[in-house]
Amino acid sequence: MAELGALLGDPARANMLAALMDGRALPAGELAYVARVTPQTASGHLAKLTDANLLALEKRGRHRYFRLASPLVASMVESIMAVAAIQLPARRAPVSYMDDRMRTARTCYDHTAGRLGVGIADAMAACGYVVFGEDGAAITETGTGFLADFGIARDVGRRSRRSFCRPCLDWSERRPHIAGIVGAAILDRCLELGWVEKSKDTRALAITPAGARGLDKTFGIQFSSTTLPTLRRIASVANAAGASSNLNTSRTSGRNAPVR
Q: Say yes or no: 9 and 101 in one domain.
A: no
Number of domains in the chain: 2
pLDDT of residue 90: 62
Neighbours of 71 (CB within 10 A): 22
- The number of beta carbons lying within 10 Å of the beta carbon of residue 245 is 8
Pair 64, 101 in one domain: no
Domain identity same for 35 and 110: no
93 band by pLDDT with thresholds 50, 70 and 90? low
Q: Do 242 and 193 share a structural domain?
A: yes
- At residue 60 the predicted structure's pLDDT band, cuts being 50, 70 and 90, is confident
In a domain, 81, yes or no: no
Q: Residue 247: its pLDDT value, please?
A: 40
Do both 136 and 199 map to the same domain? yes
Same domain, 39 and 108: no
On whether both 161 and 235 belong to a single domain, the answer is: yes
Question: What's the burial of 116, exposed, middle or buried (CB within 10 Å: 0-12/13-18/19+)?
Answer: buried
Q: Which of 27-41, 50-64, 102-116, 239-253 has the lowest mean pLDDT?
A: 239-253
Average pLDDT for the chain: 79
Q: From residue 76, give the alpha-carbon distance in Å to each of 14, 152, 170, 244.
A: 12, 27, 12, 34
- Note whether residue 89 is domain-resident: no
Q: Is residue 159 part of a domain?
A: yes
Look up the domain containing 114 and give its range. Answer: 97-256
Q: Would you say residue 127 lies in a domain? A: yes
Both 111 and 29 in one domain: the answer is: no
Q: What pLDDT was estimated at residue 130?
A: 93
Q: Which of 24-28, 51-55, 134-138 has the highest mean pLDDT?
A: 51-55
Residue of higher predicted confidence among 230 and 92: 92
Q: Considering the domain boundaries, does residue 84 fall inside one?
A: no
> Exposed/middle/buried for 191, CB within 10 Å: 0-12, 13-18, 19+?
middle
Taking only the tens place, the pLDDT of each residue in 101-155 is: 888 999 888 899 999 999 999 999 999 999 998 778 899 999 999 999 999 988 8
Residue 91 lies in a domain: no
Which of the residue ranges 4-8, 172-176, 237-241 has the most confident prediction, judged by mean pLDDT? 4-8
Would the pLDDT of 182 be above 50? yes
